Homo-oligomer: A and B are copies of this chain.
Amino acid sequence: MNTFTYDIPTRVIFGPDQLSRLGEELGNFGNKVLLVYGGGSIKKTGLYDRILEALHSGGIEVTELSGVEPNPRIATVREGIRRGREAGVNAVLAVGGGSSLDCGKFIAAAMNYPGDPWELIAGRIAVDNCLPIVTITTMAATGSEMDPWVVISDPEKKAKQGYTTYGMYPTVSFLDPTLTYSVGKYQTACGCADIFSHACETYFSPSGMEMTDRLLEGVMNTVVRFAPVALREPDNYEARANILWSASWAINGMVRNTQRCNWSCHPLEHQLSAWYDITHGLGLAIVTPRWMEAILSPETAPRLHRLGTAVFGVDADLEPLEGAKATIAALKHWLFDELGLASTLHEIGIGDEHFADMARGAVANGLPRGYVPMDEAAAVALYQACL
């Protein structure tokens, strides 16, 4: 078992109708904020107006960066830094799903860094002068609201890379399940596949802590159970609240700090969305069951079987290999039948033309240090199984 440090400084304000506290929270850092958001859906839902009202009544001056794309790009980060410096902002308020949050967090980290922000990513350079970050999450998925990680893309380099530094833990995150009511079926499904994957990847980086295993099983079971409810009834508070809170816990330091090995499906998927700009959760849905099939062996079967028992109600009395196969079948049924996600790369127009490059990228991003180590040949075979 590892020595670890547990340290999650983010304060979470969970529940509806809490945005009136926004001015007070941001006022702790100064009176100028950079507001970072995506494609404008927050204007349609009225959230934008509520935020501006809360900021203005709190005496906060707002500089805006809108139009953050899914898989946020380094060029957008550079523009945010430019605007933030010009206005002399004291904090970043990131509003939206994981992309807007990641973009805002990374802007906050790089604001006081004198070089180009991509240098931080390329050199894995920690910074100790991040601006304070406040987030308002409108989608349950990445857990970015409670972790110190971002994923940033550089389409010119075909690069999509993670970056972390302690200061990117948001200071305060507002989690209001009602703000996720307007997330459509497809994005809800992708988000739940993403949450499942975070917990699943961590589950296959065993900590040796029974409690952590149970928490992860709880996260997976929550999305397995409540995702179909949220698809049927988008404004079911219980379902949205359970999914939203699970998203944060699937990936925050609570479980990651006790990990023994690297994730596998994320390095494999990051190549897919870097080359084809697909939704991360969709890529994970296609990759994850094929990864389970690829690693299935007498050694891995008991843990796969336990997952199925705890999460999908797979019969505990099966032989481990049979139980593991039943787990994979149940996962596919959930992802492809219940959530209705595309089940193959073909269906989303992806062929095998870049598999060799993608396998190289996945290996460079940690695949050989996974639960079952994989090399480039294994990665190519896995991508082929996804076709």
Interface size on A, residues (CB 8 A): 39
Binds B, one of A35-43, A131-139, A209-217, A376-384: A209-217
Give the residue name and chain of the B residue nearest to A257 (CB): B14
Assess A12 versus B3: contact at CB under 8 Å? Given A214-B217, A241-B208: no
Contact status A6-B15, CB under 8 Å: no
Contact status B1-A16, CB under 8 Å: no
Count chain B CB atoms within 10 A of each CB in A6, A213, A225, A246 and give the residue with the most: A6
Give the residue name and chain of the B residue nearest to A214 (CB): B218
Q: Does A20 contact B (CB under 8 A)?
A: no
Expressed in whole angstroms, the Cα–Cα distance for A37 and B317 within the complex equals: 50
Residues of B within 8 A of A209 (CB): 222, 241-242, 245
Assess A210 versus B225: contact at CB under 8 Å? Given A3-B14, A5-B14: yes
Expressed in whole angstroms, the Cα–Cα distance for A241 and B209 within the complex equals: 8
Contact status A5-B1, CB under 8 Å: no
Expressed in whole angstroms, the Cα–Cα distance for A215 and B215 within the complex equals: 5
Contact status A210-B214, CB under 8 Å: no
Expressed in whole angstroms, the Cα–Cα distance for A6 and B213 within the complex equals: 21
Residues of B within 8 A of A5 (CB): 11-14
Contact status B4-A15, CB under 8 Å: yes
Expressed in whole angstroms, the Cα–Cα distance for A246 and B237 within the complex equals: 30
Give the residue name and chain of the B residue nearest to A18 (CB): B3
Q: Does A2 contact B (CB under 8 A)?
A: yes
Q: Does A238 contact B (CB under 8 A)?
A: yes
With both chains docked as a complex, state the minimum distance between the C-beta of A20 and any C-beta of chain B, in angstroms. 12
Expressed in whole angstroms, the Cα–Cα distance for A203 and B8 within the complex equals: 24
A1 in complex: contacting residue of B3, B208, B210, B241, CB < 8 Å? B241
Q: Does A371 contact B (CB under 8 A)?
A: no
Give the residue name and chain of the B residue nearest to A14 (CB): B4
A249 in complex: contacting residue of B8, B211, B222, CB < 8 Å? B211
Contact status B1-A11, CB under 8 Å: no
Expressed in whole angstroms, the Cα–Cα distance for A108 and B213 within the complex equals: 35
Contact pattern, A 238-268, Cβ under 8 Å of B = 1, otherwise 0: 1001100110010000000000000000000
Count chain B CB atoms within 10 A of each CB in A16, A210, A225 and give the residue with the most: A210
Expressed in whole angstroms, the Cα–Cα distance for A210 and B13 within the complex equals: 19
Further pairs besides A7-B11, A211-B242: 4, Cβ < 8 Å = A1-B241, A3-B17, A208-B238, A210-B225
Please give me the 10 A-B residue pairs with the lowest Cβ-Cβ distance, nearest first: A214-B218, A3-B15, A6-B12, A211-B218, A7-B11, A210-B222, A215-B215, A211-B246, A211-B222, A4-B14
Interface residues of A (CB under 8 A from B): 1-9, 11-18, 208-215, 217-219, 221-222, 225-226, 237-238, 241-242, 245-246, 249
Q: List 5 A-B contacts (CB under 8 A).
A: A7-B11, A208-B242, A211-B222, A211-B245, A218-B218
